[in-house]
Structure 1
Amino acid sequence: MEIALLIWMVLLLHINLLHGLKATLSQDEKIMVRRRLELINKPAIKSFLTRYGDILDCVEINKQLAFDHPSLRNHSIQMKGNLKIPKQTNSIDRSLKILKPSHIVPKSMRCPRGTVPIKRIQEEDLAMEKFSSKISTSISSKSIKTQDDLPPGHQIATLVAFANNVGASGLINVWSPEVTNEQLSDTSVFVASDDGFVSNAISAGWAVNPYLYQNLTRLFGYWTRDSGKSTGCFNTICPGFVQVSQKIALGATIQPISTYWGAQYFISITIQQDQNTKNWWLLYGNEQVGYWPKELFGTLSNGATRAGWGGEISSPSTEATPGMGSSHFPEEGYSKACIICKLKLVGQENFPNGTDLKLAQSKPDCYKAMYGGDVGGDFGHHMFVGGPPNCKF
């Protein structure tokens, strides 16, 4: 009963925050929110203030929020995954730049031995939870064909590979589309499998949500066991993700970003299952950031049945929609549209084609995905994704 009341209070806070009514919260509501933040944010050995106003806490690795999950109370931390890490290449095109971990978390912000960097959760961060079930629908559904297959105000443009796999990766072009307080725009890599009438899914990439992230592009990771109905969350807002890296933190700001017809910046994202422990790892380039333990999932603990790459947006029906990707259509091409390149499936010798590779576009007049095939070189298998703001549904 207390947990239900806490959830209700937090949801009420979301509504008040997003409508500028924070001052109307009762004392009881403020106490409930403060209690939740105290549960989420574990004691820090040391803290850093970033240039963007975020606080990175150095938390003892065995005392992080992940282990508050009932299934992880006796979990043994896996410090390094047994993974097949995709090879990185330096582009011969000097306008293409793959951002290193030090671009996300400066080397000067290294936590003491035995601790890991965790972005401190503030009241505003909790607003991200309102998007949880919507994103779960988009990354876990098998047959999204029109906007009617998605929650109201939510649109996707993705390339989906229907093939058994143990991971997916890609170089994601980084942009910063303009969005309002109640909107979200992201581009990501995902893996998923069905579990009865719901899906297990993991997604990672970059996202922009101004109320939560001060209109900055951020690194994110997301998981769910039941299509977001009652499990899963972004980053480290709830127990689940086990952080092991001292170089990268979920929720951190990504800078610099790409410019139209200018320099292009990329993040290298891999989601891959360790075949020994069955844990699902997140890699940023070659850096093993952390993992989602197998205990969090059902069927996904045995591998994924599909994977994908693409973008999505979420917006209230009363507002003009935000842009996706670079806010330009795929047809405009490289350095103008958002590209995701070096698409790979772990556990598959050949990249899928034919009926195993499909575009899922809920509103193609507004947001599109375009598969470009394999051109070799710096891009390999690649796709473009995006669309301008102010779409009319």
Structure 2
Amino acid sequence: MEEPLLLLLIMLLAIANNLAQGRLVTASLKEEKLVIKRQLELLNKPAIKSFVTKHGDILDCVEINKQLAFDHPLLKNHSIQMKPSFKITKRKGLNDNSSTILTASQLLPKSMRCPKGTVLVKRIQEEDLAMAKYSKLFGVAFLISNSSSKLVYPYNDPPPGVHNELAALVTSTQNTGATAKINLWSPSVTPNQYSDVSFFVGNDNGIVTNTLITGWTVSNPHLYPDNTRLYTFWTRDSGKSTGCYNALCPGFVQTSQTVTLGQTLSPISRHMGPQYFVHLTLQQDVKTKNWWLLYGEEKVGYWPKELFDSLVIGANKAGWGGEIQSPVSESPPGMGAGHFPEENYRRACLMKYLDLFAPQGFPAVKDLNYYLTKPKCYRAMYGKYPVNEEPPEGDWGNFVFVGGPIGCKD
């Protein structure tokens, strides 16, 4: 009888231990959910009015002076700038009459409009917080790299077991902004992957990197099934402790009632079919030193000068390209349209009308370098059509094709 009793006692102890462990796990999960709930309460400010889009986003109309930006300690006494002092200018001689540039008015139906005194803000959900896990090298790596085409990563190494690949065209030209019309695509990703096409402006004061980035990104397929979204990223210290994606932290001052960070961009391009673009601009107001984000001619908002140090005096680099991130255990996602740049229009992702800004006008896009971390898989290809030769669907100005196929591992 002793042996059966001993076995029974061991089984009871095991069950008790499992129950105790289960209680600990449950308590830990509850604590984690409580932390996330509190974080979302801090990020999402009270809404005067809200909408639910056809993509499932919740868009809030928040009082402009009560938005998240002003939780930043450096912006407690900040005076809101409703519009930049610069005029939105276009380079003469470029002829892009394409109807495939998505305007701000196309993003939302007329019924979704915010009351006066409020701005449009995408409500942050629990799944949005996952953006913070992605290592942001695009724009940071180029500023801290040497003058060769080889990138070095002294600050923002990708996490262990993660691929972070870049393909871009970078210029070392002093500027007060950059712009591009970016081809919209939607590469497939898993819950642990990320793919974007974007451009940056930045300045390195020799110690840390100040960077601003904008473009489109695809991530979180469970929350956003293959949705392509407007995104931004900013940092003043190479991404070590300052800045964030979109509005996951205080900083960006929203001024628009029709375009907001994280918004769905639709429709997207189809291989050998219709092509769609968004026109994005990062430009400094040289009077206030604030950095503005423009969607076409829509003034989305700005990053106040207080957030930066070296970017206050302008940028010394800019670049256009793509980035992917994936666990090494998974088949990597495609970049851009999932096709190599050499496959050209309607197959590869096109960024056209690449330009820079300066107080005296448009500086030449020169001193260009390719930065390719894995050229067998992801590439960029620069071009400029001769005067007597026109590309499909109007002039492209300076342009670059960028991308690479899904599943490429050399």
Provide TM-score, normalisation by structure 1. 0.89
**Alignment of 1:389 onto 2:406:** yes
CA distance in 2, matches of 1:296, 1:332: 41
Size of the aligned set, in residue pairs, is 368
Unaligned runs of 5+ in 1: 1-21
Paired amino acid for 2:130: A
Compared CA separation, residues 220 and 23, structure 1 to 2 (3 A): farther
**Partner SS for 2:276:** strand
**Partner SS for 2:134:** helix
Paired amino acid for 1:189: F
CA distance in 1, matches of 2:241, 2:286: 27
**Residue from 395, 400, 410 that aligns with 1:378:** 395
State how 1:139-288 maps to structure 2 within 5 Å.
140-143=143-146, 145-146=149-150, 149=153, 151=158, 152-211=162-221, 213-288=224-299
Greater shift, 141-150 or 214-223, is seen at 141-150
Q: CA deviation at 1:198?
A: 2.0
State how 1:17-28 maps to structure 2 within 5 Å.
26-28=29-31
CA distance in 2, matches of 1:302, 1:142: 21
Paired amino acid for 1:302: I
CA distance in 2, matches of 1:221, 1:23: 36
**Partner SS for 1:153:** strand
State how 1:88-103 maps to structure 2 within 5 Å.
91=96, 97-103=100-106
**Partner SS for 2:180:** strand
Is residue 136–residue 228 contact of structure 1 (8 Å, CA) maintained in 2?
no
Is residue 164–residue 303 contact of structure 1 (8 Å, CA) maintained in 2?
yes
Compared CA separation, residues 139 and 98, structure 1 to 2 (3 A): farther
Is residue 127–residue 220 contact of structure 2 (8 Å, CA) maintained in 1?
no
Larger radius of gyration: 2
Aligned counterpart, 1:12: none
**Alignment of 1:352 onto 2:352:** no
Compared CA separation, residues 388 and 166, structure 1 to 2 (3 A): same
Is residue 133–residue 227 contact of structure 1 (8 Å, CA) maintained in 2?
no
Q: CA deviation at 1:139?
A: 5.6
Aligned counterpart, 2:315: 304
Compared CA separation, residues 185 and 133, structure 1 to 2 (3 A): closer
Is residue 371–residue 384 contact of structure 1 (8 Å, CA) maintained in 2?
yes
Is residue 384–residue 396 contact of structure 2 (8 Å, CA) maintained in 1?
no
**Partner SS for 2:100:** strand
CA distance in 2, matches of 1:219, 1:42: 21
**Alignment of 1:60 onto 2:63:** yes
Q: CA deviation at 1:375?
A: 4.5
Tell me how large the CA RMSD over aligned residues is: 2.1
Q: Deviations over 1:140-184 (max 9, x none)?
A: 443484577452410011110101000000100000001111111
Q: Deviations over 1:225-279 (max 9, x none)?
A: 1111001111111000000011101111010000111111000000000011000
Q: CA deviation at 1:136?
A: 5.8
Paired amino acid for 1:352: V
Q: Deviations over 1:70-118 (max 9, x none)?
A: 00000000000112424287645x6x61001122233221100000110
